[in-house]
Amino acid sequence: MSTSLLYLLVPVGVGVGLYAIRKLREWQWGWVRNSSSLRGKVYIITGANTGLGFETALALASRQATIIMACRNMDRAGDAISRIRQTTQEGELIPLELDLASFESIRKFAEQVKGRFPSFDCLINNAGLAMRTPQYTTEKHEIHYGVNHLGHFLLVDLLKDNIRANGARIVVVSSKMHEKGRIDFEHLGQWMERGPRDRTNNLYNNSKLMNFYFARELYKQGYNVHVLCPGLCHTDFFRDYNPRWYHYVLFSPIVLFFLRSARQGAQNIIHCATDNVNTEEKNPVTGYFVTNVQQTKSKTKFDEETSERLWKESFKAINA
């Protein structure tokens, strides 16, 4: 074989190999195959204007559902609706303002939902963030605890009668990072600086563990609740970390093997929102969550005392 042919075949071979690996990964990450109509069903999605919430809204609208797009910024909600409308004319898209960092906003939102859509079918607690510098909610809780956990806790509490009356489903978007979390009752709701050895954002991890504990308690109380991790996804989530193009080059193996598109990650949310996932053996109380569009056992050893105490502390915080 001539050298020039080798120069051509090696990069082509590497390219084809990498492409095949990527396709295999995408297949392993799973897709929702069910495309049955959801006409008449009402879904509430927090943080529906971008990322996973947006992709979920798009997919459910394509299946003719009505989506309440619970967003903190109405311009961004409007933009998201225009983008969805470029793809599908199906479904109904209703923007409603919800800032999970403000109890007043959450209460106002819940009143509107109760008045206009009292028999909604599913609440998707998707909105979430990770911050590098101290930030607080209106009620002075540090932002990860305040938005990712407490805001959704209050929302469910305010809507609980409707959820119970309709047997509505609750979908909790947690993360596999919950396995690195810890519930620190001494500093609940307080900003804690990252230690020099901390490689990930503990406050975020803790809030995602709280999401899981919340789902467990809801399940114990008889709610139809599903908890999931979407996997590492390319969304606006890392905006506060300001990733640059060379980070993607530097981390290209991670990108290739681990970084999913928002559409792919959202499959886990869509699965939980539209399919019956929990079983007697596999559910949030037995430590199962959905990832790769299937039930997976968490490595966390959940502790009932922590579970119940977190509920009580959260209840106290929303009624303070």
Ligand X SMILES: NC(=O)c1ccc[n+]([C@@H]2O[C@H](COP(=O)([O-])OP(=O)(O)OC[C@H]3O[C@@H](n4cnc5c(N)ncnc54)[C@H](OP(=O)(O)O)[C@@H]3O)[C@@H](O)[C@H]2O)c1
Active site residues: 204
Instruction: Give the pairing type, strands 294-297 and 288-291.
Output: antiparallel
The SS3 of residue 290 is strand
Two structure tokens written together for 284: 């949030």
Q: State in angstroms the smallest separation of the CB of 232 from ligand X.
A: 4
Considering only CA atoms, which of 249, 248, 263, 136 is closest in space to residue 203? 136
Q: Is 229 in the site for ligand X (CB under 6 A)?
A: yes
Binding ligand X by CB under 6 A: which of 66, 175, 202, 268?
175
With contact defined as beta carbons under 8 Å apart, do 60 and 37 qualify?
no
With contact defined as beta carbons under 8 Å apart, do 124 and 97 qualify?
no
Q: Is 99 in the site for ligand X (CB under 6 A)?
A: yes
| Nearer of residues 77 and 310 to ligand X, judged by Cβ | 77
From the list 31-39, 47-55, 157-165, 242-250, the region that binds ligand X by CB under 6 A is: 47-55
Site for ligand X in 133-152 (CB under 6 A): 147
Q: Is 76 in the site for ligand X (CB under 6 A)?
A: yes
Q: State in angstroms the smallest separation of the CB of 49 from ligand X.
A: 5
Q: Distance (Å, rounded) from C-alpha 46 to C-alpha 49?
A: 9
From the list 28-36, 193-201, 234-242, 243-251, the region that binds ligand X by CB under 6 A is: 234-242
Q: Which long-range contacts (CB under 8 A, 24 or more apart) does 311-314 make?
A: 311/213, 311/214, 311/217, 313/185, 313/188, 314/149, 314/150, 314/153, 314/210, 314/214
Q: Is 100 in the site for ligand X (CB under 6 A)?
A: yes
Write out the residues near ligand X by the rule CB under 6 A: 46-47, 49-53, 72-73, 76, 98-101, 126-129, 147, 173, 175, 229-230, 232-233, 235-237
